Structures are given as structure tokens and as C-alpha cells.
Structure 1
Amino acid sequence: MTNTFESCCLKGFKWEGTPAGHISKLANNDTYMTGTNPDRAILLIHDALGWTFNNTRLLADHYAQEADATVYVPDYFGGEVKDPEMLIHGDWKDPILDMPSFLKRNARDVREPEIFETARVLRAKYKKFGAVGFCFGGWAVFRLGAREHQPSLVDYITAGHPTWLTKKDIDEVAVPVQVLAPEIDPVFTPELKTHTFETVQKIGVPFDYHFFPGVSHACFTRGDNTKAGELEAMVRGKNAAVGWINQRFVDVYPEK
């Protein structure tokens, strides 16, 4: 497995608006927190643009309001925040960004333990708890949903354009799975899409697969209104995730 991000991950469109949440701590990680539900929570695992990216925080606000949940967006890059303007408008291969070193510092084996730990804290606190991840967060939510965790760390997962995902991650998932899959994606390849679609059905957990024709990797957080169909895909992806989350919470909140 090669630890690389596609350059399109790092070119974002900033939504209008100011995030409504606040900064807190979760298992020693600085964390954006939004929503106040004491019974159900969502762990939102950011993409390459990090936990401070405005789009990601506004997306967390949408989940908190529309799924009536408390949403956490921890910093999983060890306090490192790249210049958002360089990431959005620049070349990800620019030596100033030094992305190879950044990716090494934030590789799967480096960040997985703290991702698991934050999930354990939320699992112990909330009646219902799920994880949503984009790009970097995509492999992570599959690992949170792996059958090795007894009892389960999460009640469900949503993965959008996952990066660094392996067939083994897919084979070992044991909780309800939602996948948001853009058509154009060099890292969530047609082979991985097919493996996901076929394997999760065989595992027998609830499965919700959404295909987004004509749009590319990173569309669900980038939402670039200059790219045909991308803003619509972002909104559709958000709505799909909210619907899935509310379905997963139904046994705790039968009125939903």
C-alpha cells in the first residue's frame, strides 16, 4: 500500500458561513465539537485538509442539526495544520508543503491508535455512536468497524472516497456500512469499489452504497461550484449520510 493522497484532495471550495461549534478535548486531542445530544454521537474523521478546514466543520454542523447528534472532529495530524490557501490553490507536490514527510508522520500505523482511543471514549459515553470519514478518514472508519473489536467500537460507518483502504479492511468490517463513491477516483479504484460492493453484501450487514457519476475524489468535502455537478454531489452526499445516520439511531429514537 502506498501512502499517497491525490492532489485533488487538497483543492477545496470554502463554503460560506461560520461554524457554530467550539473547541474541546477528546482523549487529549484538540477537537471541534458541535451539537448537544447526550445520547448519540458522531466521530467525523477529516481528510487531508485537516480538522480546521471550514468545510469540514460546517459539515459537522449539518450532521449535528439534521441528525440530532453531538459531532466530534478531532485533530489527527498532531497539531500540524498546512496553509489552507496553499493546499487549496497550490500544487500538492510543492516542496514547501513537503507532503511526503507529512504523509509519513500521519501514516495508518501512526494514527490508528489515537483514532481507536478517541472512539473508545465516545463508545463509553453515548448510547449510539457512529463514525464518518472522508479520504484519510475512509480507511479509519473501516478499521473502527472491524470485527476484531468486541464489543463493537461503533454502531455504523460512512466512508466517502476512502484513501489507503485495503481489501483486508473491507473483508473484516462487521458493522452497518455506507459508502459514498465518486466515479473518478484513482485511490478508491473500480477494483476496490467492486470488492466493497460484493464483499459487504456477503458479510450480511446493512449496506448502503451511493455512486456519484461524473465527479471526482474529494467532492464530498470540497464542494467546488466551478466543477460541473460537484456542489450537487456534496449536498447529495451530506443528505445520504444524514439519512443513514438517522436510520441507525432508530432503535434509540423510535420517533425518527
Structure 2
Amino acid sequence: MSLCASCLEVGSFSQAKATGQLTKLGKFDAYITGDEKSDKAVIIVPDVWGYSFNNVHVVADKFASHIGARVYIPDFHNNEDFNKQRLASPDPANFKPAVGDFLAKYHPRDAAWPSVREAVDEIRKVQKPKKVGAVGYCWGAPSILHLGSAAAGASKVDAVAFAHPSLTETSDFEALQVPGLFVLAEHDQIFTPEKKEAAQEATKKFAKQGGPLATWVWYPGVTHGFAIRGDESDAYTAQAMGAAANQVASFFGAQLA
């Protein structure tokens, strides 16, 4: 069980200024942005760099603006995400995360799901939105697939999306009961061609049986992590990052209407 090299590198820091607030969502520290009176909500389950990372704040702001939703990024790592570890390190520029220790403590599957469901329940309690969407990046992908399944119970959401997932299983896609948008990088050591083919077949089979449609989007020339931590100074990567965020925003704009 491992993360790819792209997950371990901080990547590029976004130069955009976030407009939301670092605040609380029930017991969770969280970044929250967008109209608090909106009838739509989106929860972001971030990658291992966590809720405190400015790059994911900027993406959340874009979703809030484009969708007209209240967007939440709860802290599912108890302020021990890679970003917080990096900032607390004596040498942040050369910070090397202890991946095995992190995954042992914060596994992205069954161990994370009670907290993710609790965050969705808290959103429904404080905002009372008519519809909720969930989007995950890397570490967050298994959780959003869980939230789109019957196993989530009353915490089930109305639509899901992810970009460059990690540690998903074909059974996650077989259990999916809501529309999905799935963004893939060409170069991804974790979501291999074999895993992609099995997942796509599972969602296609379900759609043919009358279930909701899953849309798969593939970006050539980019690597795992590009949608959050891609190099904005590279014109091609910047375009891909922007297009991926816009596609997710458009998808939720339609599904949460």
C-alpha cells in the first residue's frame, strides 16, 4: 500500500489569494467559502496535503463562484496533513513526509468513512442544502465513492467527482448509485490502466442497467496530482488544471440544480 512519487511532492504553490475562511464545521477545522444561504453544498475531501493547503482553497473558491454553492474542506487528518507537517518542519523546503506512518494513522478507506459521513451530516445540519455534491482528490477519492453508495446511509450525497484517485477498488464503482465525473491523468502510477478499465466497465454496466451515468475525462501529458498541485507556470499544465476545475464545477452546477 503506497502513494506515488507525485503525492509526496508538494508540487507547485498557487499564487492566487483564497477568499474563504479557515473556521469550524462542527468538531472539524475547515476551510469554508461561498454563499452561506445557498441551497447547494459541495464537500471536498482533499489529498494528503490536507485542508490547510492554499491550492485546494483556490479550487474551492472557484467551485463556490461557478456553482453558487457553499463549499467545505474539512480537516480529516487532525492537523497532521503533509502541509501542516511541512510548515512545522525545521527545513520545510526539504520536507520528506513519512508516508507509511501517515497511511497507518489516516487510511483513506474504512477508517476515514465515519468522519466523512459525519462532516456531510454536519453540513446538512448547519446549512440545510437541498443537494450535496462531493469531490475527492487522490486520498479523498475512496471517500467520495463511499458517499455515493448505499453504504453511506443518510449521509449519501447527490453527485460525486474525483481527480487522480488513489487506493480505490473496483467494488467502489460497482456500488456507486449517483452520477459521477472522474478526471484522470495520463501518467498515474496508482490508477493504472488495468484499474481504470475495470472501473469504467463497472460504471458502464450499471448505466446500461438503468443506473446513473459516470463520465470519464482523460488529460494527456499530465501527472497524478495535476488538478491541485500542478505547475501553474507551465502553460499546458495551467490550462489542464483550469479545465479540470471548470468541468467539475459545470458537472455539479447541473447535478445540484
The alignment's TM-score, normalised by the length of structure 2, stands at 0.88
Task: Judge conservation of contact 1:35–1:65 (CA < 8 Å) in 2.
Answer: yes
Q: Give the match's secondary structure for 1:31.
A: strand
Distance between the aligned counterparts of 1:113 and 1:152, measured in 2?
Answer: 10
The answer for the alignment partner of 2:6 in structure 1 is: 8
Runs of 4+ in 1 over 4 A off after TM superposition: 84-91
Alignment partner of 1:211 out of 198, 205, 218 = 218
Alignment partner of 1:185 out of 168, 183, 188 = 188
Q: Give the match's secondary structure for 1:82.
A: helix
Task: Judge conservation of contact 1:112–1:140 (CA < 8 Å) in 2.
Answer: yes
Instruction: Report whether the alignment pairs 1:146 with 2:145.
Output: no
The answer for the alignment partner of 2:65 in structure 1 is: 65
- TM-fit CA distance, 1:221: 0.2
- TM-fit CA distance, 1:192: 1.5
- TM-fit CA distance, 1:147: 2.4
Instruction: Report whether the alignment pairs 1:23 with 2:26.
Output: no
Distance 1:202 1:84, change over 3 A: farther
The answer for the alignment partner of 1:119 in structure 2 is: 120
Q: Give the match's secondary structure for 1:174.
A: coil
Distance between the aligned counterparts of 2:167 and 2:183, measured in 1?
Answer: 15
Partner deviation per Cα, 1:43-63 (whole Å, 9 max, x = no partner): 011111111111000100000
The answer for the alignment partner of 2:251 in structure 1 is: 244
Distance between the aligned counterparts of 1:164 and 1:229, measured in 2?
Answer: 27
The answer for the alignment partner of 2:169 in structure 1 is: 166
Distance 1:159 1:76, change over 3 A: same
Task: Judge conservation of contact 1:145–1:156 (CA < 8 Å) in 2.
Answer: yes
Distance between the aligned counterparts of 1:230 and 1:196, measured in 2?
Answer: 26
Q: Give the match's secondary structure for 1:148.
A: helix
State the aligned residue count.
Answer: 244
Distance between the aligned counterparts of 2:215 and 2:254, measured in 1?
Answer: 11
One-letter code aligned to 1:8: S
Distance between the aligned counterparts of 1:146 and 1:55, measured in 2?
Answer: 28
Alignment partner of 1:220 out of 213, 227, 246 = 227
Instruction: Report whether the alignment pairs 1:133 with 2:131.
Output: no
Q: What is the RMSD computed on CA atoms of the aligned residues?
A: 2.1
Instruction: Report whether the alignment pairs 1:235 with 2:234.
Output: no
- TM-fit CA distance, 1:13: 1.1
Deviates most, 100-109 or 180-189: 100-109
- TM-fit CA distance, 1:150: 4.1
Task: Judge conservation of contact 2:40–2:70 (CA < 8 Å) in 1.
Answer: yes
The alignment's TM-score, normalised by the length of structure 1, stands at 0.88
Distance 1:221 1:88, change over 3 A: farther
Distance between the aligned counterparts of 2:215 and 2:92, measured in 1?
Answer: 30
